[in-house]
Chain A
Amino acid sequence: MENSERLDKYLRGAMDAEEKAGFEAQLAKDAELAKALELQRDMELFLRRNTQREALKKQLPAIGKDYFQTAQGAKVITMPRQRRLFLAAASLAAAIALFFMVRWALSPSLFESYAQYPPLALTEKSAGADWSQAETAFNSNNYAEAERLLTQYTAEYPSDRQAALYLGICNMETGKIEEAQTAFRNFTPEETDFKDFADWYLALSYLKAGDKTGCRQALQQLSPNSPFQQKATDLLQKL
């Protein structure tokens, strides 16, 4: 049995008394094994609390800003009337700016406002296995799960170009921009049903990555007959 399996078995409490005693005796004299056990414990700890750890990492800065301030103990000084008026005007301007910033922050991003996809309907094509889970995942915007299932699906049905297109969308939505772009570029002009979609999504992938220049170039290369021409014109103006 390999060390990894023995360590795992030991930490799971799955060794019988004799095996455990033997293992602990070996631990006492084998520094490398003890080190490996410590690492295995840390790995398991990481896996158990990783989600909570990441949440705490995000929680602390939000709390911290209430307790670390530069202007602590500032004195109150009466200001001349002109200065008070100026500050009141400045505060009003700041409040208006803040209002628009909050509105901007709450509004969907440019990418989100264009990233709309026709529902995925794979079951029409599948003969054996039930791939409806992939459809459900994609159509409910659970792109990570849809990506996992579509990866399996495309391995089984490599010639299904619709699935390949939607897998590219999942790659894009989960931030794997290079994979997505490779998938979209793989469509040839002969694949008339999908080419215009793939070209449009290629442009969106640049937008998702924050590459406005790439997005503009991809939009300008859309076919003149593309059904996305109007959207492309709108998006180019906003860029």
Chain B
Amino acid sequence: MSGMACSELKIIGFLCNWCSYGGADTAGVARFRQPTDLRIIRLPCTGRMDPLFVLKALLGGADGVLVSGCHPFDCHYSSGNFMARRRLEVLARFLPVLGIDPRRFVYTWVSAAEGAKWQAVVTAFTETIHELGPAPRVLDPDDAPLRFKEGREIWPT
């Protein structure tokens, strides 16, 4: 696990203010041991999640992205997480066409009371990302993208 056995990877977490951010806080107050790879961005609601946030993070060098909000039926704004669920599920299924491993993105629900669940989620997701290793970079300094590369041709139709 990072901070202990190997070097840290970059994981971005988008957390709902009302549930998962509280859940992460609960886990912290309870002094549950957690990996430190996650960088948290607080959102008012997962309904605020634009799938582009995830894509921007993944193309920008994140090795994994975690979105967590209130359980269904528990949204502070009643339907934000229902809307988010559809968008995020579509996004999860979209990633493979970009050549991005879909395991690098997860969305889930953690309530403010579920400190232990938060610990489990973060630990499991961080482990997955460490198994996958660093994500391939779009802007790789070793890469010469302007050099001819033999590649599969997919023609415009």
A and B interact physically: no
